[in-house]
Structure 1
């Protein structure tokens, strides 16, 4: 086995299909929307979350948990769709807690958990993380929210949460993500890295140097067993 004492997983996009869950929330808000319009509104959600997290990281806005940013995104979508039912808008805001796992996620986590302590590390709030873990059936030994650090990945303070909880040096932890930007952030603190390909995410560039590249969690488990 490689010299790894714990495996740290990104959640959104890496283990659960975030766009699928938000699409479902938008369709529930207004079932008459066609697919093209749903995709447009999904982009409104994604751009708002990304922009506001970047503003917080840049110091242009005080820290707010993901729940607040998602409530803002839901109101933007509701306004654009002409929906004014407060209960429906609130349900859309909570759609980030009802995200489907990728087909290999549950079995892959169970397999890796036989050999390593598993730590979830997500930009989702503590409350949202509890809900999506339960909905998707994610198995952890510890689940950590960036809310604990009052910032968002890729701020080093978020990865430090996993280092502190593990009680091990960063180089003994393996960060797994479908987002190259997330892995670069972990590398900055000294964690080892594994990129897992997903239909969505942020693929590595030619200049990225990650320790492992895997087609899925089964492939990652195979590689770690052979390492």
Structure 2
């Protein structure tokens, strides 16, 4: 059994691991658009939006001379292109803002709040997400996520899986990497964290991408904990 007895803090990937972004956005936009008399393929737009997520962050990495750009801004830029591609008409500035802020209004998976609440009794817990600080703070308020603090890529001006994010989180927590556990539903996230000395916990979210899911159905690494949900992690961590 891996030794996790030295862990003092758990940090969490958020999109897909803590919250169900896909179902949340599709339901939100479908309900909202009915009140605006706008018809669109919201499922297609949401899937397309997430499909360009990694590429939008890569653009920031490739052009450091332009400075760091927060995720809200990247989401808005991607949305404007997707609206044109999907031929969605009749959207004004307020509409585009509402859609962009949809990422602030994501619902948690059924086990997220209860599992986090248990873990919080013994450990420091917080997101370690590519979402910006305002996005993660609004989301915590909306979804009832009981974080002790918000750790965002914005604080380090680097997106995961850049080392600066994981090591920066440990530094701000005042802990060596081996006393911090990264929790994610994505094997690549855990691989990056593990290389830097963090402990790791994997939780599968097999419906994250709906019928489009192609990977992360199961653990693909030697992670310290592999669990079915956050409550199992809490139990394994003595909470």
Give yes or no for TM over 0.5: yes
Please name the residue that 1:42 is paired with: 46
Please name the residue that 1:9 is paired with: 12
Between the two proteins, the alignment pairs up a number of residues equal to 224
**Residue among 178, 183, 202 paired with 1:176:** 183
The answer for unaligned runs of 5 or more in structure 1 is none
Superposition pairs of residues 153-192 of structure 1, within 5 angstroms? 153-192=160-199
Distance in structure 2 (CA, Å) of the matches to 1:128 and 1:211: 29
Q: Structure 1 residue 98: deviation in Å?
A: 0.1
The answer for unaligned runs of 5 or more in structure 2 is 210-214
CA distance 1:83–1:182, change in 2 (3 Å): farther
Alpha-carbon deviations, 1:34-91, whole Å to 9, x = none? 7xx3221112211222211122234487421001011112223332222332211110
CA distance 1:175–1:206, change in 2 (3 Å): closer
Please name the residue that 2:157 is paired with: 150
- Asked if 1:200 is matched to 2:211, the reply is no
Q: Which deviates the most, 136-145 or 68-77?
A: 68-77
Contact 1:126 1:145 in 2 (8 A): yes
Distance in structure 1 (CA, Å) of the matches to 2:81 and 2:31: 16
**Residue among 179, 188, 213 paired with 2:226:** 213
TM-score w.r.t. length of structure 2: 0.85
Contact 2:204 2:218 in 1 (8 A): no
TM-score w.r.t. length of structure 1: 0.89
- Asked if 1:101 is matched to 2:108, the reply is yes
Residue aligned with 2:76, SS: helix
- Asked if 1:57 is matched to 2:64, the reply is no
